Every structure is written in C-alpha cells, then in structure tokens.
Amino acid sequence: MAVTDGSPLLSVSDLRVGFATERGLVRAVDGVSFDLAAGRTLGIVGESGSGKSVTAKTIMNLLPSYARVEGSVTFDGRDVRALASSGARHFWGVEMTMVFQDPMTSLNPVKKVGEQIAESLRVHLKRSRKEARDEAGDLLEQVGIPEPRKRLTQYPHELSGGLRQRVVIAMALACSPRLLIADEPTTALDVTVQKHILDLLDGLREERGMAMILITHDLGVVRGRADDIMVMYAGRTMEQADTDTLFSEMRHPYTEALLETIPRIDMPSHSRLVPIPGRPPDVIEVSTGCPFAPRCRSCTDVCLTERPTLDEQGHGHVCACHGPVGTDVGAMARSANEASGVTPAGLDMAAFGSAGVEAGDGS
Amino acid sequence: MADRLDLGESAGGNDPLHVPVVEGYPMAALDTTLGRRLGAGFWVSVGWLVVIVTVAALAPWLPIADPNETGYGGRMDRPGWATWFGTDTNGRDMFSRTIWGARVSLTVGFVAIAAGLAIGGTLGLIAGYFRGTADRVISFAFFALLSFPGLVFALLIIAALGSSLKVVCMTLGVLSIAPVGRLARAATLVFAEREFVQASRVLGATHTRIMLRELLPNVLIPMSALALLGMAVTIVAEGALAYLGLSVSDGFSWGKMILLGSAPRTLRDGPWVVMFPIGAMFLTVLALNYAGDRLRQYLDVRELAF
C-alpha cells in the first residue's frame, strides 16, 4: 500500500473480529489490513454490515468484551490492543478519537455543552476550570458555531442537529488528537448540513495536520476528500487504492455498483439509479467463494467456489475479484451473463435495470 | 411576506425571521399546551411538604406544649381554642404531638429512601453499566429481596435487633434497595447504550468517571421521582409497623399515635385522637405521591424532547 516515507501513523494488519452468537461465529471483520500515514485521509466505504464500523470500534477499543479480536493495530509504533488491556490513560482522546453518527445521542442530555467540551481538557491536559472554559469557547468558534461563548451554557436539546455535530467535533478535537475517526458523521443530518460538516472536518484536518478515517456508505462523500479509499464488503477488503486511481480505474464490480447507486451531476436528470440487487450476506455462513458473487453481474462459476485473493493491480491498487471490471476476463464474464440472462449464482440480469439485457423497467 | 402580514415597522419590519409576539399569548401558554409544566397541584403539594418538614424540624423551638406532658389539658378535650387538636386519653396536647410525631415519621421515610437510593442506586448503576456477571449477581440479589415478604422481613429484623429508630430506618431502607436498584439498573441500561457514553470513552474517560459524570446525572432524574413515591410508601410502611407495636420504641410517630388512639372506647369518645395523625399522614403521603407522579410525567416529556 502507498506508504511513502517512514512508518505509518496507524497500521492495521490482518484484523479479524468475530462475535460468538447462538447461531455461530459472526465474522464481522475478516482479514482487513491498511496503513494510514500522518495527515492523510482514508475513506472506508461499504454498506451496512460490511464491517466498517466494527473496524473503527476495534481501533478505538469500543468492542464489547465478548468480541474475539485477532491481528494487530499499531498506532505510532505502539500496540493499541496492549494499551487497551493495560488501561493506558491519556491515549484515547489525546492521540486518537472518534466522532459518531448520531449527534442526537452522542451528547449527554443533562450536561451543558461547555462542560462536556471542557471535561477532556481538564482530565487529560490538566487545565484549570477557567482555562478549559476559554479553550472550549475557542473550539466552538473553530467549528463555526455562531456566538460560541453563549453556547457554552446551553444544553444539547437547545441546539439543532448540525450544531450538535459541530459540538461533537469540537469535543473530539479538544486535545488535538493525531487521528480522528469519523463514523458516518453526516448520515443522521439534513442533506443541506451534510456538506458543511464534511467540509468543516476536512478543513480542520488540514489545519491541524491530523490523520482521518472517514467511514461512509456513500462513495460521493469520500471522493475529493479522502486520499485513499478502501471498499469493504462482508468484513473484507474488496478494493483499495488512492482516490484518483479508484475512480479512474475502478476494478471491482462492487465498487462500480456502489457508484451507480448515487446520483451524479454529469448524468442527465431523472436518470435511473441502479440499486444493487439482493442483500448483504449473512456473515455467519462461511461461503467458499466471493461474498459478493450472489449479487454480482460479472459472476462466473469460479466466483462461487473460490475466494478471490487481494491482488495487486499496480500503484498500490489492490482488488479481490476473479473478473475485474475493465479486464478481458471481466468483460467476457459480463457479456456471457447478459447473453444467458442469468448469472451462475442464479441472479436474473434484469434486476440490474438498463445495464442488464435490455432497458427493462424492473417493476 | 412581511408587508402582506402588515406587521408595520415596529413589529419587525422586513426581517423574515422575526416572529411576531401576539399579545396575551406569551410563551408560558405555549408551555402548558406542551404539557411541560408541573402545574399548581405540584406546587401545593410541595408547599405542604415544606410546611410539615419545617414545623417538624423546628418543633423543639416552637411555642407549643411538651408532647409528653400529661395533664396539659383535661383528658380527651375536644379540639378548641385552648388545645387546637384536642387532647388524648392522658391529657397530652394533640397539636404538639402531631408535630412531634412528624419528626419520627419523616425521618424514617427520608433516611430509609436515602439509604435505598445510595445502596440500590449504586448497585443498579454497576449492574446496568458493566452487565455480565456483575449484573447477574446484583439482579439476583434484587429478586431475592423482592421475593421476601416485606412485612415479615421487617418483623424478623425488629424482633431480633429491637425497635430503635436506627433499626427501623435500616429495615425499611433495606426493603427499598431492590425497587430503587431495579429502576437505576433499567435507566442505566438505556443510557449506557447511548453514544455519549461511547463518546466519552473515546475521549479517554475511565469507567468510574463515566458512571459518576455521564450516567448518574441522567439516572438521577427518574430516581428523583421514585424517591418521592418511595418516601410515601415508607411512611405508610412505618405506620403499619407502628400499628403492630413494632416501630420506634424510643419516641412516637404518627403510626404509634394512631395505635394509641385506636382503642374502641377512645375511638367512640375522642375520634380526634386518631383523626389528626391520620390526616397529617394522609396529606403528607398524598402530597408525596402527587408531587412524585407529576415530576415523573414532567421528566418523561423532557426525555422525549431529546
């Protein structure tokens, strides 16, 4: 992967997270590896249940005690999991921290905004009450909250969703962490506010030289914001590349399908968005083949039986697919499926709408 | 928009964000429609509680008769100017006795529920936050406490340890641990799921800090309403114990006064001897229940606002 100079800030290697349930072992994360250099942004993209949030929670030591974790997470040369078990203080919140999806629940409803921001300053940086309060005001100003001093004495329910998420970001940034994980930071917000929050995060990251992991289900969100993108599916890495390469030389049919689910400005208005047929797989069932095969329009017989390996495509671009998009193998597989009208996995090609056999409306 | 509404210059001019304040329809009226007010009944209840607590606390310094002075008036004097609440079979002033009786009843009610809150609340918080083994052990202990008939438990303890004020408070306190603890656990379970708990963990807060600074303030809200209701229950329970002759040997409470006045002849000749302690207890318990219930409703609505 594209690590250029020295050792990366965060290094995740062959991470596996399982949850024992009554129905069997849920493999939420299944062999994920990535490196993140200081000051860079990694976008992790995938549907619900793809393991992206579990990956983040593993890094942040937020998993419940019954989770089984294998593999290593190293932050600046220190083993994060060892730090967690030794109860290291002044690490989480100071070195790295996280912003959650829903600002409605990520603030304590009975504590004033100012207190909540000041708290970590007082605990970790040993600021006095007054210093912490002043800094909290400065932080609110930095995250673009109007009348920051006045907001300090307000309760979360007095603020709108967008303002609350700004407060959450201010809290996260209080101790100037070197890594910020943003787990779908805008999913719960109004569309009009989403862009402001994303731009704010990006601006603050650049200003502070912070590294960031931006988790989202929307490829459009990470385009132009992330330096590298990792596409996850069923707990595995499907494709990983720097952002420009990923969008220009997209290899995995899943990445392609994800991109078709979001509206694009360069398409004529009212063009049909193409949903991905089927559902994300049950990660309890250990399938032998590619986890995306049942929903893939380039599916071949080998996809159902053999798990594709994460192969190098050049320039740190990796992809786990037997018939990648833009290769002869992939094109042949797709045209064969279009000709027969059904994929080897038994999926009707008409489910893909216009991209399928003909311009049929999937109704 | 503004010109069509014809608000004129004084009422905000062309500012589209200006909300005209309609005369006679202040924000308070809006609040009532949202059910966000505690209501007059709540304040009347609180008023009564403040009066009774103040009077009971100040009893030794009030210009009232010695509650134990027999022959203060005649025997079984009717309520009147000399003795407002009448006198009992020994000629003791009932007005003074009702006030002094409040001291024991309220002390028992308060101390017992405070002990329940401290012990039950702590255990419930631990069970709800850590879950797992701690939760199983603590929840089982709560169930065991709840399965034991309360009155029998109280009888046993008091029979074994005697009926001093301390023992009565302790006994009723132990009985209030389980209900309070179960509420604390349930509330903690709800709040521990919220992201703000995870958020403070990623900001490096310790478990103790999360429990005390993040969860406790939230859990205290429903607990405060339960505390008022619990105090009412405890006062009644103390009355029941007293009626069985098992409460506070080193003083007297409303319950004990009711016992003393409940002989058939006394009831026939001087019903006021039981009426005033019963009335005082009734009003106090009613006020506690009403205030607790209003508070619960009020706080529930507040909860929805998040």
Q: Do B206 and A102 touch (CB under 8 A)?
A: no
Which chain A residues contact residue B187 at CB under 8 A?
none
Q: Do B198 and A65 touch (CB under 8 A)?
A: no
Which chain B residues contact residue A119 at CB under 8 A?
200, 203, 205, 213
Residue B113, classed as helix, strand or coil, is: helix
| CA separation for the pair A203, A211 (Å, rounded) | 12
Note the pLDDT tens digit of each residue in B133-148: 999 999 999 999 999 8
Task: Please tell me the predicted confidence (pLDDT) of residue B256.
Answer: 87
Contact call for residues B187 and B127 (beta carbons, < 8 A): no
Q: What ipTM, to 2 d.p.?
A: 0.74
Residue B71 above 60 pLDDT? Answer: yes
Kindly state the average pLDDT of the residues B235-243.
89
Q: List chain A domain ranges.
A: 105-175, 253-267+277-355
Range scoring the smallest mean pLDDT among A176-180, B99-103, B122-126, B268-272: B268-272
Which of B195, B198, B203 minimises the CB distance to A93? B203
Residue B290 above 70 pLDDT? Answer: yes
| CA separation for the pair B264, B271 (Å, rounded) | 10
Average pLDDT, 10 consecutive residues per value, chain A (363 residues): 64 92 86 92 90 91 87 91 80 90 86 90 90 92 90 90 90 92 87 87 91 92 91 92 90 89 72 76 74 88 88 86 87 88 84 50 39
**Following DSSP, what letter does each residue of B46-80 receive, concatenated?**
HHHHHHHHHHHHTGGGSS---TT-TTSS-TTPPSS
Q: Do A62 and B195 touch (CB under 8 A)?
A: no
Contact call for residues A143 and A3 (beta carbons, < 8 A): no
Which chain B residues contact residue A91 at CB under 8 A?
204
Contact call for residues B292 and B222 (beta carbons, < 8 A): no
Q: Whole-angstrom distance between the N-terminal and C-terminal Cα of chain B?
A: 32
Task: Please tell me the predicted confidence (pLDDT) of residue A359.
Answer: 38
What is the maximum alpha-carbon separation in chain B? 83
Q: Do B203 and A157 touch (CB under 8 A)?
A: no
| CA separation for the pair A215, B106 (Å, rounded) | 57
Which residue of A lies nearest to B219 if distances are taken between CA atoms? A110
Task: Please tell me the predicted confidence (pLDDT) of residue A281.
Answer: 74
Range scoring the smallest mean pLDDT among A277-286, B40-49, B142-151, B277-286: A277-286
Range scoring the smallest mean pLDDT among B51-55, B186-190, B235-239, B296-300: B296-300
pTM value > 0.80: no
Contact call for residues B243 and B185 (beta carbons, < 8 A): no
Burial letters A250-260, b for 16+ CB under 10 A, else e: bbbbbbbbbbb
B300 compared with A198, residue with greater pLDDT: A198
Kindly state the average pLDDT of the residues B233-239.
91
Cα–chain center distance at A241: 14
Structural domains in chain B, CATH included, are 96-304 (1.10.3720.10)
CB atoms within 10 A of CB A112: 17
Residue A6, classed as helix, strand or coil, is: coil
Strands (E), A194-317: 211-216, 228-233, 236-242, 311-312
Amino acid, single-letter form, for residue A137: G
Residue A295 exposure: Cα atoms within 13 Å on the Cβ side? 19
pLDDT band at B300 (very low <50, low <70, confident <90, very high): low
Task: Please tell me the predicted confidence (pLDDT) of residue A59.
Answer: 92
Task: Please tell me the predicted confidence (pLDDT) of residue A315.
Answer: 79
Amino acid, single-letter form, for residue B239: G
Q: Do A109 and B198 touch (CB under 8 A)?
A: no
Residue B33 above 80 pLDDT? Answer: no
Kindly state the average pLDDT of the residues B15-37.
44
3-class DSSP string for A155-215: CHHHCCHHHHHHHHHHHHHCCCCCEEEEECCCCCCCHHHHHHHHHHHHHHHHHHCCEEEEE
Task: Please tell me the predicted confidence (pLDDT) of residue B282.
Answer: 94
Q: Which CA distances in Å does A112 have to A227, B207, B217, B302? A: 36, 21, 12, 15
Task: Please tell me the predicted confidence (pLDDT) of residue B293.
Answer: 87
Instruction: Calculate ∠ Cα B100-B101-B106, nearest 5°.
Output: 105
Sign of the CA dihedral with A50 first, then A53, A59, and A63 last: negative
* Pairing assessment for the beta strands A311-312 and A318-319 based on DSSP bridges: antiparallel
| CA separation for the pair A328, A6 (Å, rounded) | 38
| Residue corresponding to tokens 């009565």 | B168
Task: Please tell me the predicted confidence (pLDDT) of residue B36.
Answer: 59
Q: Whole-angstrom distance between the N-terminal and C-terminal Cα of chain A?
A: 43
Indicate the DSSP class of residue B212: I
Q: What is the mean pLDDT of chain B?
A: 82
Residue B222 above 80 pLDDT? Answer: yes
Strands of A10-21's sheet in order across: A24-36, A10-21, A67-75, A78-79
% helix, strand, coil for chain A, step of 5: 35, 20, 45
Task: Please tell me the predicted confidence (pLDDT) of residue A35.
Answer: 93
Residue B91 above 90 pLDDT? Answer: no
Q: Do B214 and A107 touch (CB under 8 A)?
A: no
Which chain A residues contact residue B194 at CB under 8 A?
105-106
Which residue of B lies nearest to A174 if distances are taken between CA atoms? B203
| Residue among A53, A92, A104, A105 with most chain B CBs within 10 A, to mutate | A105
Going by C-alpha positions, the residue among A149, A151, A140, A196 that lies closest to residue A173 is: A140
| CA separation for the pair A168, A174 (Å, rounded) | 10
Indicate the DSSP class of residue A293: G
CB pairs under 8 A between A and B: 77
**Residue A312 forms beta bridges with which residues?**
A318
Kindly state the average pLDDT of the residues B83-104.
87
Task: Please tell me the predicted confidence (pLDDT) of residue B175.
Answer: 92
